[in-house]
Amino acid sequence: MKYKDYYAILGVPRNASLDEIKKAYRKLARAHHPDVSKAPDAEARFKEAAEAYATLRDSAKRAAYDELGHPAAGADFRPPPQWQQDFAPGGMAFDDLDLADLLAAMGRGQRAGPQHAMPIKGQDYESSVTITLPDARRGTSVNLNLADGAGERTLQVTIPPGACQDQKLRLRGQGGQGRNGGPNGDIYLHIHLAPHAVFRPDRHDLYFDLVLSPWEAALGAEVEVPTLENPVLLTVPPGTRAGRKLRLRGRGLDPGHSDLYAIVHIDVPATLSPRERELFQELAKVSSFKPRAA
């Protein structure tokens, strides 16, 4: 059996009061909870702190634990001979137990009668799914194929409207099965958005390029533009310059709460008819516009 120094795990002295033990445990539980910390050893440290707290908060278990003395953490040891008679459940040898199971086998306040082992939360899983921009706006359902200790299973997941790139959904209780009455783990589903031929997402907003003719930009116009649903008319104000963002409210990924932006680009004809050339030459003569003026 390996010795675990529960006092060192919680970072408290061996004569710590119950309040000190509770305070230390809560601090560690917050710091290492898998929903908060992404450190690779967070879950192990969270469970280790819970195991230490489950023993030291119980006066009978703490007293029995203190009887073991103070071996080095991780050292092999054997409890006093009387423990074999009082605590080992069903005559089981100590070699078949770890320290947490042995302490959990004690009756509260007495050396008799086994108890259930400490509840342990099931394993959390990570998964990902790629959806289209229209599905992200209106919401959709996807099937996750999972293989774990419980076998293969298919889980239908509803993705609510307004999902965005790298959003993470938590599926409570859908992960690994808990042990000793502990809760099931969770699944964290990472959302990815498939590339779109027209729109570029930025969080919940969308962007696309709007090409205007010089006269549309100068005089203003109403032009039909695409959205993730139906085309709409966009009013281009007179004097619109290249690079300007024109907003269509509520047309982003999160309906009613995010926007669609048209980024203006101005194009010119590659070739001109004689009349078009004449008009552009006339404009060049009469216009006072000097784009490179200081």
Indicate which CATH number applies to the domain containing 178: 2.60.260.20
- Mean per-residue pLDDT for 224-249? 96
185 belongs to a structural domain: yes
User: pLDDT category, 102, cuts 50, 70, 90?
Assistant: low
Domain termination site, one of 161, 193, 225? 193
270 belongs to a structural domain: yes
If asked whether residues 187 and 218 sit together in one domain, one would say no
163 belongs to a structural domain: yes
Domain termination site, one of 140, 161, 193? 193
In percent, the amount of the chain with pLDDT more than 70 equals 83
Maximum pairwise Cα distance, the chain: 110
- Mean per-residue pLDDT for 131-142? 96
Q: What is the CATH number of the domain that holds 80?
A: 1.10.287.110
172 belongs to a structural domain: yes
Checking if the pLDDT of 107 tops 80, the result is: no
CA–CA separation, 285 and 116 (whole Å): 94
CA–CA separation, 138 and 219 (whole Å): 36
What per-residue confidence (pLDDT) applies to 83? 56
* Region of poorest pLDDT, from 102-106, 144-148, 273-277: 102-106
CA–CA separation, 41 and 18 (whole Å): 27
114 belongs to a structural domain: no
If asked whether residues 26 and 64 sit together in one domain, one would say yes
Contacts of 64 (CB under 8 A, 6+ apart): 83, 87, 103, 106, 111
pTM of the model: 0.59
109 belongs to a structural domain: no
User: pLDDT category, 248, cuts 50, 70, 90?
Assistant: very high
If asked whether residues 206 and 265 sit together in one domain, one would say yes
If asked whether residues 51 and 137 sit together in one domain, one would say no
Token pair, residue 182, equals: 């502990």
If asked whether residues 25 and 91 sit together in one domain, one would say yes
292 belongs to a structural domain: no
CA–CA separation, 287 and 99 (whole Å): 90
Alpha helices in 142-234 (DSSP H): 214-219
What per-residue confidence (pLDDT) applies to 257? 93
What average pLDDT is seen over the chain?
84
259 belongs to a structural domain: yes
If asked whether residues 55 and 11 sit together in one domain, one would say yes
Contact 51, 118 (CB under 8 A): yes
If asked whether residues 96 and 165 sit together in one domain, one would say no
If asked whether residues 208 and 185 sit together in one domain, one would say no
Domain termination site, one of 193, 218, 236? 193
- Mean per-residue pLDDT for 209-213? 97
If asked whether residues 97 and 169 sit together in one domain, one would say no
Checking if the pLDDT of 210 tops 80, the result is: yes
Number of structural domains (the chain) is: 3
* Region of poorest pLDDT, from 17-21, 92-96, 169-173: 92-96
If asked whether residues 162 and 235 sit together in one domain, one would say no
If asked whether residues 97 and 56 sit together in one domain, one would say yes
List the domain range (segments joined by +) for residue 152: 125-193
Checking if the pLDDT of 279 tops 90, the result is: yes
Checking if the pLDDT of 20 tops 80, the result is: yes
Closest CA to 228 of 264, 212, 204: 204
If asked whether residues 173 and 209 sit together in one domain, one would say no
